[in-house]
Amino acid sequence: MPVTITQMGPDGLALYGSVPIAFRVESVLQVHAVDGGLGGLALWETPVDAPYVKDYDARGPEPERPPNWARHFDVSNWAFFIAFDGGNAVGAATVAFDTPGVRMLEGRSDLAVLWDIRVHPDRRGQGIGTALFERAAAWARERGCRELKIETQNINVRACRFYAARGCRLGAIVRNAYSEPDIAHEAMLLWYLDL
């Protein structure tokens, strides 16, 4: 049976959150300032000394977990997509648009944010993420958005390669974006897709 993608309302966020987002970190994209930063920033992939698992759902404040988004944000201009294989949720993606108070949207009405994308670890590399990404981009395009913005970190090398392969361009590297001690070493990478 082929994978199908369904758009769901906020009432489906518990099912959405049942799709694991954790991944294994085996390398990072180290940020190097060229000529003290005057020559720009360069990314070099470097293996980590001790690989570890990163799980965005297991850390951070409560609003960051999918089942809680609708309680903490106005999600009336958000789309939630879930990929199903039979009755099993194997992937999910969320795109946000025109939502006051969401800093990632920069107050722009022509920008959408890929808020979240996840594929079950057993199903990664099978085209599910690509199908979800394309569906999210199409949804944003239908609303007149000119760009889709995506945030990831330099510890998520696979995601960075995924976005680059889909035509996204790296628009910003923020080395000191995170103040929490357990993630202060991570750099924020902002990707943009022209729609």
CATH number at residue 100: 3.40.630.30
- CA pair distance 180, 119, nearest whole angstrom: 26
Dist. CA 72–CA 80, nearest whole Å: 16
Each residue's pLDDT tens digit, 76-115: 999 999 999 998 999 999 999 999 989 999 999 999 999 9
Q: Is 100 exposed, middle or buried (0-12, 13-18, 19+ CB in 10 A)?
A: exposed
Number of structural domains, the chain?
Answer: 1
Mean pLDDT of 142-153: 97
- pLDDT category at 5 given cuts 50, 70, 90 is very high
Model pLDDT, residue 60: 60
Strands lying side by side in the sheet with 188-194: 4-8, 78-85, 88-97, 111-119, 147-153, 188-194, 169-174
Is pTM, for the whole model, over 0.85?
yes
* pLDDT at residue 74 greater than cutoff 90: yes
* Burial (CB count within 10 angstroms: exposed 0-12, middle 13-18, buried 19+), residue 194: exposed
Domain that holds residue 40: 4-145
28 is a domain residue: yes
| Residue at 51 is within a domain | yes
In this structure, is residue 157 part of a structural domain? no
User: Is the residue at 84 inside a domain?
Assistant: yes
Q: What is the DSSP letter of 180?
A: S
pLDDT per residue over 160-195, tens digit each? 999 999 999 999 999 988 888 888 899 999 999 999
- 112 lies in a domain? yes
Task: Look at residue 130 and tell me if it is in a domain.
Answer: yes
Average pLDDT of the chain is 93
pLDDT digit string, tens, across residues 39-58? 888 999 999 999 999 998 88
Indicate whether 102 belongs to any domain.
yes
In a domain? residue 77: yes
